Structure 1
Amino acid sequence: MGHDETFNTQGPESLDDVRSADGGTDRSVEDSHVSESVSEPILEMTPRERAMDIFKSRKFNGESLRMGQVLRRVRETLGLEIADVSRKSLLRQDFLMWIERMEIGQIPKGYLTPYLRAYCVELGLPDSEVIAQYTLECGAVSEVRHSAPVPKIGDIAPPKPKWPLMVATAAVMTLFAGVAIGVTQIVKPAPELAPAPAIVAVNGARHSLFEDASEAERPLPTNLQLELVAVRQGWLEIRGADGTIFRSRVMAAGENYFPRLDAGWTVSAKDGGAFQWRVGDVVIGPLGPEGAAVFSVSVDQKLAEAAEMAAPTVAANGAGKATR
């Protein structure tokens, strides 16, 4: 009996020890689950968030992008192909590729703005901001400024007949013509004598009879050797008057380029201070401000400035050769 009582008194204590041990094990498992849930990685950005980040920063993998490159990177980030955007926007695939390459010379004149707006709708981007920056970078601001706005469906009204206004205008014009003919028959002005040509004194070869011609009527000196020289490594793009790209790459220090003169060409660069205008050994000036991007700088305008700056040097060299 004494042995049985000893066994019964120790049984509950051992069971309590087991339960306490099990409870401790359960708590440790729950704690491990909590620690695992806390250590889970934060979710990555969605494709739409990454696309908007590229659009707002104008950068991809640390590289600055032009607006055409931004459109391409946004499209690729959203997982869209050119064919997908073409099918939804009803735009030709080659037009979309030219927009991304900023080769606007291939796009029909007057259609750049509506094409950009349709492309922005498919990508979910603000069209006004895209159009303003895009046209600024590719030199098509004048096309956008003069393009007629597309009326909304609610603003389109049926055309009104214009024949009453045309009839009234024709009657007024006929009346004025009759009055003018009658006046000319009654009052005939005396014939005007042409003024005699004035005698201009010419002092040798140093003066000219045509010295009074305005600067605007004088042709640009297309024989001037105007060139762009890279003083350090930098990206340069040269376009023709129709938007054709003749050069778009990074130029090394000391590399030069002779643009076509009097042809409406423009120059853009990411760093205006990385390039200089020169005529032979004469430095005309930098392409733009130091460290600032420049877009659509006129070659012909710089040619006129270069002609004025280079003329004294050329004249001095010619005089020196003549005195030898």
Structure 2
Amino acid sequence: MPLDTGRIADLEVEPVNGGDPGLVDSYAPTLHSGADIGEALRTVREFRGLSLEELAERTRVRRSYLSAIEEMRLEQLPSRPFTIGYIRSYAQALGLDPEEAVYRFKADEPVLDEPLRAPVGVQEDRDPRLSALIAGGCVIVAAIFMWNIAQRAMIDAAPPPPLAPEKAVIEALTAQRDGPVTLGAPLPAPVESTTPPLYETPGLAKAGEDGMGNLAPPAILGVTSADAPPPDTSQLAPVFKPDGRIYGAPVGQPSFVTLKALKSGALIIRGADGSVYFARQLDKGEAYRIPAINGLMVDVSEPQAFQVFAGGQSRGFLPAALSSASKLGG
């Protein structure tokens, strides 16, 4: 509800029971009467013989708000700025100083979160170390700035680098010759760049190779190398007869050859890229059917521990520890 903040004429107070007006003024309550500003305003209103309805009509403030002000029920009033405006209008309607009424209200109900004013005449004490740190920082910054300026000035003032005499320059240009350049003999390679000797795998020659990556002479159907004793072929069966579990390509799938273990030995089947297709320690009588895949290599621990069968017919022992699967059935 808008407030009428215009000037309200002071109320004329009639003497009580025809008494002396001066005596009435001397006993009239003021804004400092009572325990708080609400009680002081109510005391002055009752002394003037005014009701809350009359005062509400004059101030254009709700009667409930005026009653709440007198009883200091601030939780029933609007925000603090509106409450201060109501108190100012209430005091002005009673012919009192509105600013003094507001001052009394703020003294009775201060706002705790309002910053306090610094006391007048009290010197503010500061930590002297803070001033020293600030001064030291300023000195350091100024010193760096002046050092950069001095360095730039020294560079600008430095003399130019010395030049070679003109005679020496002419002689150097005259000494230049056109034509092929003769190079000296090549220098030997550094020690760390020399090629290391070939690495020989321990036991590789004993397993069927000569140690240089070349296969040893084949030993198929009793043909052996000149310096090796002929293998015992009495244990070779003429046709394939399973005596144990058969691994590899299932029955009905194309197969190059079948390898049968005459005694326990390690068998590894590798692809052309070195990938392992099969690796197992075969017991005596177990066999492996090599799939019809080009590029397969047979790697065994002992060539004479495995018999080769092609089309069910014996082809003798494995020729070497490392053999091509496609050549075993040829």
Point out the structure with max Rg over C-alpha.
Answer: 2
Q: Which has the higher helix share?
A: 1
TM-score range, shorter chain: under 0.3
TM-score by length of 2: 0.27
